Amino acid sequence: MATTSEQLPAFSETQSKIPWYVQDLPLYLKGFGILTVIYIGLRLYQGAFAISSGLDSSEPAFEEYWMRLFYIELSVLAIFVSGVWGYLWISRDRHLDTLDPKEEIRRYFTLTMWISIYTFAVYWAGSYFAEQDNSWHQVAIRDTPFTANHIIEFYFNFPLYVILGGCAWLYARTRLPLYAKGVSLPLTLAVFGPFMILVSVGFNEWGHTFWFREEFFAAPIHWGFVIGVWFALGVGGILLQGVTRLTELLDGLEEAP
């Protein structure tokens, strides 16, 4: 997904069946596939081991099945964020002033794919595993902040969508002229606002130090998450910025059959 303008001729010579503006479609679909396998795999793991070893954090089995998963998640995320953010920055386009309009169109498509992958991760974090948190804490005593669902929701899903949102932001900043000249406010809101949800975990867990049993989902200690997710509405502004620029670029393009 990180093509510099110097590589453009190689693209036009490629005999690919995929149209030039969606060259990154296979990577995009692979991204969806990999994420789907990861999330469903984690859910199956919960189904297999949550009841048998995830109910009492003082049990040795909890350490083996859940804390080990927690450490693995953190390691994988640390490697992933270093690799992908580092790659996006190092492979940045240093000649954006000479960017070909067709290549810019292609990069807008790729940016949209990055944002789409980001929203897919937001789905799993904000919808499925979030509601599942309520379900689990209705039947399990909360004797640790690292419960069988928190280990996946708070310490994997939340950081992962933050990382993917950061990828979209970095991609735009390093490969698209308008985003390189100025900092897009809606893109920044849509990425950094939901990032605050991760920070809200601290507030939430502080609140839960007072109650180890009750789970009331609409309680005020959860509203920090709510405010964070409102910022996802910034995607409307990203769409407007993208459509406006694409229209300008398409108007300048020669007609083709």
Partner 1 sequence: MSVNISNRSFRPYTGEKARITRAYDYLILVLALFLFIGAFHLHFALTVGDWDFWVDWKDRQWWPLVTPLMGITFPAAVQAVMWEKFRLPMGATLCVTALLIGTWIARIFAYHYWNYFPINMVLPATMLPGALVLDAILMLSNSLTITAIFGGAAFALLFYPSNWPIIGMFHVPVEYGNAQLSIADLFGFEYIRTGMPEYLRIIERGTLRTYGQYATPLSAFCSALLCTLMYTLWWHIGKWFATVRYLNKI
| Site for partner 1, residues 79 to 138, rule: CB under 8 A | 105, 108-109, 112-113, 115-116, 119-120, 122-132, 134-138
Q: Measured from the CB atom, is 75 or 138 closer to partner 1? A: 138
| Binding residue count for partner 1, defined by CB under 8 A | 78
State the amino acid at position 242 in one-letter form.
G
**Which one-letter amino acid corresponds to residue 24?**
D
The distance of closest approach from Cβ of residue 49 to partner 1 in the complex, given in angstroms and rounded to an integer, is 12
Q: Which is nearer to partner 1, 46 or 174 (CB)?
A: 46
DSSP of 44-102: HHHHHHHHHHSS-TTSHHHIIIIIHHHHHHHHHHHHHHHHHHHHHHHT--S-GGG--HH
Cβ of residue 75: shortest distance to partner 1, in angstroms? 26
150, 152, 157, 119: which is closest to 134 by C-alpha?
Answer: 150
| Binding to partner 1, residues 29-68 (CB under 8 A) | 43, 46-47, 50
- In this chain, which of 183, 199, 202, 206 binds partner 1, going by CB under 8 A? 183
Residue 60 or 251: the one with the smaller Cβ distance to partner 1 is 251
- Whichever of 43 and 92 has its CB closer to partner 1, that residue is 43
Q: Report the nearest approach of partner 1 to the CB of residue 217 (Å).
A: 3
- Report the alpha-carbon distance of residue 185 to residue 13 in Å, rounded: 37
Instruction: Give one DSSP letter per residue of 218-235, joined into a string.
Output: TSGGGHHHHHHHHGGGGH
How is residue 179 annotated by DSSP? H
Segment near partner 1 (CB under 8 A); pick from 3-11, 76-84, 88-96, 247-255: 247-255
Nearer to partner 1, 151 or 197 (CB): 197
Joined together, the tokens standing for residue 68 give 């080990």
Choose between 88 and 197: whose C-beta lies nearer to partner 1.
Answer: 197
Residues 147 to 166 in contact with partner 1, rule: CB under 8 A: none
Choose the binding region for partner 1 from 58-66, 74-82, 91-99, 214-222 (rule: CB under 8 A).
214-222
Out of 37, 72, 185, 199, the only residue in the binding site for partner 1 (CB under 8 A) is 185
CB of 188 to partner 1, least distance (A): 6
> Residue 244 CB, nearest distance to partner 1 (Å)?
5
Q: Can you tell me the distance from the alpha carbon of 66 to that of 85, in angstroms, rounded to the nearest whole number?
A: 28
Backbone angles phi, psi at 250, to 5 degrees: -65, -35
d(C-alpha 106, C-alpha 202), whole Å = 40
Instruction: Give the number of other Cβ atoms within 10 Å of residue 163's Cβ.
Output: 17
State which residue, 65 or 179, has the beta carbon closest to partner 1: 179
Cα first-last separation, the chain: 27
> Any contact of residue 172 with partner 1 (CB under 8 A)?
no
